[in-house]
Amino acid sequence: MIVCPHSTFIEGVGPLLDGLVEGLGRYNDFVSVLAADDSGLSFRAARGETGVADSRWVQRGLVVRAQRGGKVAEAAVNLPEGPGSEALVARVARMLDELFVAGAKVHPPLPDEPARLEARGNVAIDPFETDPEMALGRLASFRDALLSAPDIVSAEAKADFVKVSRAYRSRSRALVQTFVWDQAYLFGVTRREDRAKVSYRSVSGLRGLESLDELEAQAPALASELAELLGAGRVEPGEYEVILSPAMAGTLAHEAFGHGVETDMFVKGRARARDYIGKAVASPMVTMYDGASGVEQTGSFLFDDEGNLGRRTTVIKDGILVSGFSDALSALALGIEATGNGRREAYDHKAYARMTNTYFAPGQSTLDEMIASTRAGWLLDRLNSGMEDPKNWGIQLIALVGREIRDGRFTGRIASPVMCSGYVPDVLRSITMLSRDFELGGSGACGKGHKEFVKVSEGGPYVKTRMRLG
């Protein structure tokens, strides 16, 4: 395996960060600086073309957080100010001065426990040092395999590799981390006359170009699925038994008690879950986690964007809501410990309480047993999107593929898309089976509202429950 080196910028930025902490520390009670230098490559093969570009996640810059008289402000910059830190200190000081306005909230003092840590990830095939032709050639062959199937009018194969390189400094903390995450997709559009359907396969992790092997293995199944989807109908509206694939189940976890226990939502009075800590919110067989540590996926890291170390939080234990997860400011406001979930879309975005890797713990059943136990329901797969409603506990999931089950067997009928909705506690309390499988997927991005996208993963086992479908 190849150990990922820190970026040149991150290797050399330490003195600048120390200068900012020291210089701005003269005017402020607390100062921290996060430096980010994330590089990335995006390889793509679509119909009639291939291309290479920087990933959309590329960034380089600094964000300074300062606390003065309890008020908190941040200044984000990426402009050079010449050698040394003095000029940058002066610039950031000017920006901060304008932000400490009368009437702003007085927060408790930000903690600054000592820590000095460094972490570097590794990959088998380094995407940044390999001839791009290798990745493009393989993606083009995946694309061509899809396009050779009847009725597939458009196909795209894409692979992203992002090297995250970050450094955090405060008076007591010096943290550095570098690792690579990957995501790759195969996407197809099938169309015949006035019908069009889409589906995909995706893989993700903390790997290099070796991830393409996993993607390649999934191409034949995608072609077959697209052919089936042209004959897909719709589900008759109603409530059904549903078996959610690990990706769908993970998104249920994510939307139901992921966003719902982000503790900045507690502070705003936007999350009903705050009143349910210590109470039953799900079937006793349900245990759910969120954490940057404990699993290796796209939501993993050593420290978050506020300099707090990642950990694993037990959100639901045996059906009881145990804990939320926090960014630094909401933890302060609530008098709880920060859990290492303070994350930013980029250095020039605010940190919020965000998910990392969110999943249900596996159960004891097999998928076959779950199907056999279903009288009238649907197996739902290929997540399209999900949306939370933490105050009112509604939930929306869209599956691109639904397969009908009657009397314990697949009928051969397929539906696309399938809109799933429900009242969160009803859905979680109705869980009757969880499979022994465990899969995490991190090929998407999670927004807060409709912005502030961060990489997360989600998953777990197959989950059987009841939902309204349409």
Partner 1 sequence: MRETIKAVLAARPGVADWLLVELRKSGSEIYLIGDQTDISRAVESLNYTLLVYVDSETSGQQSRGEARVTLHPTMSEEEVARAVDRAIFAASRSRNPWYGLPEGAPPLVALPPGGFEGRSPASWAAELRDAILDAADPSKGLAERPGAMKGALASAPRLNSLELFLTKRETRILSSRGVDVGFSSHEGYIEYVVEAEGEAGEVELFDDLRFSEPDFDRIGGEIEGALALVGERAHALPLPALAGLPLILGGKEAASVLAWFFDNADAGRMWLGSSPFALGASVHGDSARAGEYDPIELAAEAILRGHPASAPFDEEGVPLARHPLVQGGELRGLAGSSRYSSYLKLPVVGGYRLFSVGAGSLGLEAMRARPHLEVARFSDFNVDPDSGDFGGEIRLGWHFDGKRRVPISGGSVTGSLFENRGRLRMSSEIGLAGSMLGPRNILLPAVSITGAATGG
CB of 235 to partner 1, least distance (A): 8
CB of 348 to partner 1, least distance (A): 5
CB of 378 to partner 1, least distance (A): 13
CB of 147 to partner 1, least distance (A): 8
Contact call for residue 267 and partner 1 (CB under 8 A)? yes
Residue ranges in 318-347 that form contacts with partner 1 under rule CB under 8 A: 329
CB of 385 to partner 1, least distance (A): 6
33 close to 3: Cβ distance less than 8 angstroms: no
CB of 315 to partner 1, least distance (A): 20
Work out which of 15, 29, 52, 124 binds partner 1, going by CB under 8 A.
52
Work out which of 18, 19, 22, 77 binds partner 1, going by CB under 8 A.
77
| Cβ proximity to partner 1, 25 vs 394, nearer residue | 394
Work out which of 82, 116, 412, 450 binds partner 1, going by CB under 8 A.
450
Q: Is the preceding omega at residue 284 within 30 degrees of 0, hence cis? A: no
Contact call for residue 376 and partner 1 (CB under 8 A)? no
CB of 98 to partner 1, least distance (A): 5
Contact call for residue 417 and partner 1 (CB under 8 A)? yes
Residue ranges in 103-142 that form contacts with partner 1 under rule CB under 8 A: 103-105, 131-133, 136
Distance (Å, rounded) from C-alpha 130 to C-alpha 61?
A: 27
Residue ranges in 1-20 that form contacts with partner 1 under rule CB under 8 A: 8-9
Contact call for residue 79 and partner 1 (CB under 8 A)? yes
Residue type at 438 in one-letter notation: F
CB of 22 to partner 1, least distance (A): 20
Helix 14-25 and helix 86-97: axis angle, to 10°? Answer: 50
Contact call for residue 30 and partner 1 (CB under 8 A)? no
Residues 6+ apart with CB under 8 A from 207: 123, 124, 180, 182
Distance (Å, rounded) from C-alpha 85 to C-alpha 67?
A: 20
Distance (Å, rounded) from C-alpha 369 to C-alpha 326?
A: 38
Of 119-127, 153-161, 288-296, 318-326, the window that binds partner 1 (rule: CB under 8 A) is 153-161
Burial of 240 (0-12, 13-18, 19+ CB in 10 A): buried
Token pair for residue 450?
């409709």
Distance (Å, rounded) from C-alpha 303 to C-alpha 106?
A: 26
Token pair for residue 305?
């964007």
Other Cβ atoms less than 10 A from the Cβ of 183: the count is 26
Contact call for residue 381 and partner 1 (CB under 8 A)? no
173 close to 35: Cβ distance less than 8 angstroms: no
Distance (Å, rounded) from C-alpha 350 to C-alpha 384?
A: 27
Residue ranges in 293-312 that form contacts with partner 1 under rule CB under 8 A: none
Contact call for residue 148 and partner 1 (CB under 8 A)? no
Contact call for residue 61 and partner 1 (CB under 8 A)? yes
Contact call for residue 151 and partner 1 (CB under 8 A)? no
| Cβ proximity to partner 1, 46 vs 227, nearer residue | 46
Contact call for residue 78 and partner 1 (CB under 8 A)? yes
| Cβ proximity to partner 1, 137 vs 408, nearer residue | 137
Find the largest Cα–Cα distance for the chain: 74
Distance (Å, rounded) from C-alpha 105 to C-alpha 153?
A: 55
315 close to 360: Cβ distance less than 8 angstroms: no
Distance (Å, rounded) from C-alpha 294 to C-alpha 286?
A: 19
Alpha helix positions (H), 238-303: 246-257, 263-267
Contact call for residue 269 and partner 1 (CB under 8 A)? yes
Contact call for residue 421 and partner 1 (CB under 8 A)? yes
Residue ranges in 393-412 that form contacts with partner 1 under rule CB under 8 A: 393-396, 398
Token pair for residue 229?
């989807």
| Cβ proximity to partner 1, 64 vs 123, nearer residue | 64
